[in-house]
Structure 1
Amino acid sequence: MTATTAPTPGAAIPLPEDRPRLRRLTRVAGSLYLVIFVVYPLSTFARSSLVVPGDAAATADNIRVQETLFRWGIAGEATIVLVEIVLAAVLYALLRPVSRPVSLAAALARVAEAVVMAAGCLVTSVFTLTVVADPGFLAAFDADQRDALALLFQEANDDIVLVWGFFFALSLVLTGWLVARSGFLPRLPGILLALAGIGYFVQSFGTFLAPGLTDTWALVVLVLAIPGELVFALWLLIKGVDADAWSTAASRAEHRKV
């Protein structure tokens, strides 16, 4: 009778069923990232294109005339909130062999970003639509006051973006660290993700501390964030992870009980 040898702790355990599951995970993650890349700019443009800075009446008139476009913007932002939550779970499942605590922290930060986006940006947009299109009891206020409220809500939306940016930045830095340390994904996308997170930190802190340089902070995000997130998304979608290295990392994590 042939003796069986127990697997060495830390060695890769052959798990052929992991391969299709991992491929699905990486494709889902990459696809969700691409959804964010497409839907978020479109939804933001649909809303912000109707806002005339400093002109409450023109802003309210634009929203009344193009209410459908504004509603599509709200629907797009709601889609992003849902996608971010699902993506947080998928990335946690994919990266937890590296470090469960850090992967959980990255996922929670991403969920917190989505919650702030929903509670802030979506609510202010709904309030704007209510004030402009169906004032109801706000009819007690005159038209100029209602228009001023609509513009206030939209300007507040821009500040709330900076708040959820803190959580998003933390998520990117932690995810970048996990990717760089994983061994089953290349280090470069991880480094680029961490730099993207730093870019969002710079934008959020910089805008609050030096609002006169808002355009500069936006440029920092454009330069640092887009390459990292896009490279990571395309790598997940096209190449995926090294399944053998992932199994090895999962086995080691199981033995560490981390």
Structure 2
Amino acid sequence: MIRTLPNAPKRLARIAGVLYLLVGIFGGFAVGYVTPMLYVPGDAVATAGNVVANAGLVRISVVADLFQATVLVFLAMTLYLLLTHVHKHVARAMVILVIIATTIMCLDKVFQFAALQVATDSAYTAAFGTAGAQALVLLLLDMHHYGYLIAQIFFGLWLVPLGYLAYRSGMFPRALGVVLIVAGVSYLVDMLAAFLVPDVRTQIRGFLAIPPTIAEIWMLLYLLIKGVNMPTPSSPAADIGGTHVGV
């Protein structure tokens, strides 16, 4: 069908870059800093003690993750406006996948907050005993961990249409589009390994993290610094401000 290309693509790209940066900052704090500080797989005593000792950080972490999930939806909507002219249905799929991922992630935060409640409320210790309450804290954070891995299915999948759109648009380096797709596949492989072959995952996780790290940092910096490539008149996405392109 015929679509009108979005106006002011550089402005949209910069807005997307700022939103991507916020996702990185708040998500990195919650997932990359606070969660490893709390969660010790298989050790209920240490995990419960970490939650009690860092109760304030847990609360901030929950809010930070909810905030970054909300911002990620707006990021996807902004990228939709920027790239919908390339392929409307693929752009819609990208947004839907982000909404699914963030919905799972927001619901998953209930487990982390419940772990905080159990660890810090004496009523649970009175009901279950100290060891029982500590075991429950670990169970809740185990569920939080695996819930995040389930959300990772869709965090990986959304990068595939994003990579496709970036590759086809002419607004980004084609190599970036390819790396985004590879990053999405890496997320999926990591999730499958976590459930099917957890021992193998511990050996390959570092390698699987390389494509997503490169792809998302590259995309973030490109949006913030370059914005987008302005296509030449002969390119498929030429005259972005007002030209119509068949999709």
Task: State the TM bucket, normalised to the shorter chain.
Answer: 0.7 to 0.9
Identity, in percent, stands at: 31
CA distance change for structure 1 residues 248 and 69 in 2, over 3 Å: closer, same or farther?
Answer: closer
> Where does structure 1 lack aligned partners over 5 or more consecutive residues?
1-9
Q: Is 2:22 aligned against 1:40?
A: no
Shift of 1:138: 7.1
Q: How many residues align?
A: 241
| Secondary structure, aligned partner of 2:209 | helix
The aligned counterpart of 1:85 is 73
The correspondence of residues 128-167 of structure 1 with structure 2, limited to 5 A, is 128-134=115-121, 136=123, 139-167=126-154
Shift of 1:162: 1.5
The TM-score, its normalising length taken from structure 1, stands at: 0.84
Shift of 1:243: 4.5
Q: Which amino acid aligns with 1:18?
A: N
CA distance in 2, matches of 1:246, 1:43: 41
> Where does structure 2 lack aligned partners over 5 or more consecutive residues?
232-236
Shift of 1:216: 3.2
Q: Which amino acid aligns with 1:58?
A: A
The aligned counterpart of 1:4 is none
CA distance in 1, matches of 2:227, 2:159: 19
The correspondence of residues 113-124 of structure 1 with structure 2, limited to 5 A, is 113-120=101-108, 122-124=109-111
CA distance change for structure 1 residues 249 and 180 in 2, over 3 Å: closer, same or farther?
Answer: farther
Moved more, 221-230 or 211-220: 211-220
What's the CA shift string for 1:179-221, capped at 9, x where partnerless? 0011222212111111110110110112222111122342233
What's the CA shift string for 1:222-256, capped at 9, x where partnerless? 21111111111111111112455364597444xx4
| Secondary structure, aligned partner of 1:97 | coil
Shift of 1:159: 1.3
The aligned counterpart of 2:60 is 72
Q: Which amino acid aligns with 1:66?
A: N
The aligned counterpart of 1:5 is none
CA contact (8 A) 1:207 1:217 kept: no
CA distance in 1, matches of 2:38, 2:127: 25
| Secondary structure, aligned partner of 2:199 | helix
Q: Is 2:228 aligned against 1:241?
A: yes
Shift of 1:137: 6.6
Q: Which amino acid aligns with 1:129?
A: L
Q: Which amino acid aligns with 1:72?
A: I
CA distance change for structure 1 residues 65 and 138 in 2, over 3 Å: closer, same or farther?
Answer: closer
Q: Is 2:10 aligned against 1:23?
A: yes
The aligned counterpart of 1:95 is 83
Q: 2:184 aligns with which of 197, 200, 219?
A: 197
The TM-score, its normalising length taken from structure 2, stands at: 0.88
CA contact (8 A) 1:192 1:224 kept: yes
Shift of 1:135: 5.3
| Secondary structure, aligned partner of 2:66 | helix
What's the CA shift string for 1:150-198, capped at 9, x where partnerless? 1111122221121111111110011101100112222121111111101
| Secondary structure, aligned partner of 1:18 | coil
Moved more, 128-137 or 240-249: 240-249
Q: 2:164 aligns with which of 172, 177, 198?
A: 177
| Secondary structure, aligned partner of 1:184 | coil
CA distance in 1, matches of 2:11, 2:160: 24
| Secondary structure, aligned partner of 1:54 | coil
* Pairwise CA RMSD: 2.5
The aligned counterpart of 2:39 is 51
CA contact (8 A) 2:23 2:69 kept: no
